[in-house]
Homo-oligomer: A and B are copies of this chain.
Amino acid sequence: MSVVKSPLSEENRQIAGEALQGALSDLLDLSLVAKQAHWNLYGPRFRSIHLQLDEVVTAARTYADTVAERAAAIGVSPDGRATTVAKSSGLPAFPEGWIQDGRVVAVLVETYGVLINRMRARIEAMEKADAVTQDLFIGLTAELEKEYWMFQAENRD
């Protein structure tokens, strides 16, 4: 028995729930990855990228919260526990230990590339399932693509 009565049909609830749970894992992982980079970064661009990464962390946490509360609102229990994130995130693994500034930027470019592909697939999957969840994914993707642009611009000499 569910705690929340879904405003969606059972089929759409499952489609939307799966997309939201996937997005939740990816976004919580992004928040942890960006903090990891924030702490382990070195190189002449340290300060600028250190600050930029904290903005990524703050944004990723907010996106994750939005996505998880949307899951709850359609009657799906969101799972954001460490083991779940570790197992199900679709983002590339982040390297261990101290990491140079240029490499951090390159890794984030790759990470955003993967994440945006996954988000755009979720937008499509929502086309028939739920207009409200789709609109939320569209809004998130706009933000992610903006951040992606900035890391790409920063990644070119």
Interface residue count for A (Cβ, 8 Å)?
Answer: 77
Q: Report the Cα distance A72→B50, complex, angstroms.
A: 13
Q: Report the Cα distance A98→B154, complex, angstroms.
A: 12
- Chain B nearest CB from A34 CB (Å) reads 10
Taking a contact as CB atoms under 8 Å apart, the answer to whether B149 and A73 are in contact is yes
CB-CB nearest in chain B for A65: B35
Given A73-B148, A138-B135, A142-B136, A153-B5 contact (CB < 8 Å)? no
Q: Report the Cα distance A148→B46, complex, angstroms.
A: 13
Taking a contact as CB atoms under 8 Å apart, the answer to whether A28 and B135 are in contact is no
CB-CB nearest in chain B for A109: B5
**Taking the complex as formed, is A90 at the interface, i.e. its CB lies under 8 A from any CB of chain B?**
no
Chain B residue numbers with a CB within 8 Å of A87 are 86
Given A5-B152, A42-B153, A46-B153, A81-B36 contact (CB < 8 Å)? yes
Taking a contact as CB atoms under 8 Å apart, the answer to whether A32 and B28 are in contact is yes
**Taking the complex as formed, is A96 at the interface, i.e. its CB lies under 8 A from any CB of chain B?**
yes
Which of chain A's residues 22-49 have a Cβ closer than 8 Å to chain B? 28-29, 32-33, 35-36, 39-49
